[in-house]
Amino acid sequence: MDRRRRFLHNPAMTALPQIFDRRLLRHRLARAADGWAGHDFLRREMVERLADRLLDLDRRFARAVEIDARDGLLAAHPAVAARVARLDSLALTAKLADGRRPAAVADGEALPLAEGALDALFSVGGLHAMNDLPGCLVQIRRALVSDGLFLGVIYGGESLSELRAAITAAESEVEGGVSPRVAPSVDVRDLGGLLQRAGFALPVVDADRLTVTYDDVFALMRDLRGMAEGNLLHGRRRDFSRRATFLRMAEIYHARHATADGRVAATFELLFMTAWAPGAGQQRPLRPGSGDRALGDALR
pLDDT tens sequence across 167-207: 999 999 998 877 767 676 788 889 999 999 999 999 999 99
pLDDT level of residue 6 (50, 70, 90 thresholds): very low
Residues making up the chain, counted from first to last? 300
pLDDT recorded at residue 179: 75
**Which is higher by pLDDT, 207 or 69?**
207
Q: Write down the pLDDT at residue 1.
A: 41
Of residues 284 and 265, more confidence is placed in 265
**pLDDT at res. 90:** 67
pLDDT given at position 152:
96
Q: What rounded mean pLDDT belongs to the chain?
A: 84
Rg (CA), the chain: 22
Cα–Cα dist 133/16, whole Å: 11
Stronger pLDDT, 167 or 294, i.e. the higher one: 167
Looking at residue 262, what is its pLDDT? 95
CB atoms within 10 A of CB 238: 6
Residue 98 pLDDT level (bands cut at 50, 70, 90): low
Q: Average of pLDDT values for 51-71?
A: 88
Residue 23: pLDDT band (50, 70, 90) is confident
Q: Is a pLDDT exceeding 90 seen at residue 16? A: no
Mean local confidence (pLDDT), 148-164: 94
| Alpha carbon distances (Å) from 125 to 36, 52, 129, 271 | 15, 16, 9, 9
- Which pTM value belongs to this model? 0.83
State which of 91-100, 128-137, 278-287 shows the largest mean pLDDT. 128-137
Q: Can you give the pLDDT at residue 86?
A: 83
Percent of the chain with pLDDT over 90: 49
What is the Cα–Cα distance from 242 to 128, expressed in whole angstroms?
Answer: 28
CA distance 186 to 191: 6
Which pLDDT score is estimated for 105?
A: 78
| Chain segment 205-254, per-residue pLDDT in tens | 999 999 999 999 999 999 999 999 888 887 777 767 789 999 999 999 99
**198: Cα within 13 Å, side-chain hemisphere:** 26
CA dist 298 and 300 (Å) reads 5
Which CATH architecture best describes the domain 17-277? 3-Layer(aba) Sandwich (3.40)
pLDDT score for 259: 96
pLDDT at 95 over 70: no
